[in-house]
Amino acid sequence: MKQAAMICGAVFAILIASCAASAQAVASDPLIFSTATSSTANSAAGPTIAGSLMAQLGAPPEIPSFALASAAEPAPAPASQKDAPPSGSGADTPPVGVFGVFPSYKYQVYVGYTFLRFYVIPGVENNTNGIDFSIAYFFRDTLGVDGEMATSIGSYTGETSQFFLGMGGLRYRHPVGRSALWIHGLAGDAHFSPQTAYGGENGFGYEVGGGIDVSPRRLRLSWRLEADMVGTRLYGTYQYSPKVSFGFVLKD
């Protein structure tokens, strides 16, 4: 009995000594101590390490306040096809000013006063006053056919004299704003009476000249100023006589 107690006491002392030595070894081992310390520190400084990792990886970009406001607002509804301006209507283009656009008329009828100084023969002249009538048709914007009749009355050797022209030709016009500059050339028949001792009363005649048509207000009605040179072949010689005319033009 006494021997068993001594054996048990010895075993117990050996076990206690072994436990103490193991505890001292654990405390003296740096690897085990650092691991335990690190585990404890990691559990305490977990948020700090996570924050440093996020800083290294880069924080997500900050969303601007106006973008958040735009996202919060509902997107505008698209305009309906009915409210949209029609294609080619010009609603999306700025207005363009238009200047100097006037209608171009094909027909012109002219009536006016005319003065003709007719040179019968060298040294003999006859001043006449009368009426000039013409019709023009423009088959193009600037080019047309022209017909004219002019008659004037004067006094020659104490008798009433009459000069007549009937001609046709071409007329060219050039619009300038509301006005138009034009030239024409015509040829036809010429007549002068009374009968003279120099020859017959009829002969060849032609006219070359031009003028201006001005439309102050009404575009269909203009006034005309015209100047021409009339050439005739009478009495076996040529006559070159100036003619001027003033009147009104009706356009259609």
Q: Which domains does the chain have, with CATH numbers?
A: 107-251 (2.40.160.20)
| Peptide linkage before 194 cis (omega within 30 of 0) | yes
Closest CA to 145 of 133, 137, 135: 137
pTM: 0.58
Do the beta carbons of residue 249 and residue 221 sit within 8 Å? yes
Share of the chain above pLDDT 90, in %: 41
Residue 113's pLDDT is what? 98
154 pLDDT above the threshold of 90: yes
Rg of the chain taking only CA atoms, in angstroms? 59
Residue 167's pLDDT is what? 96
Do the beta carbons of residue 204 and residue 186 sit within 8 Å? no
Chain segment 23-46, per-residue pLDDT in tens: 454 445 444 444 434 444 444 444
Q: Is 61 helix (H, G, I), strand (E, B) or coil?
A: coil
Mean pLDDT within 235-245: 91
Separation of alpha carbons 242 and 113, rounded Å = 14
Residue with the larger pLDDT of the pair 160 and 6: 160
Distance of CA 50 to the CA centre of its chain: 67
Mean pLDDT within 192-208: 86
Residues pairing with 248 in the sheet:
111, 223
Dihedral (C-alpha) 133, 139, 144, 145: value to the nearest 10 degrees?
Answer: -60
Neighbours of 135 (CB within 10 A): 15
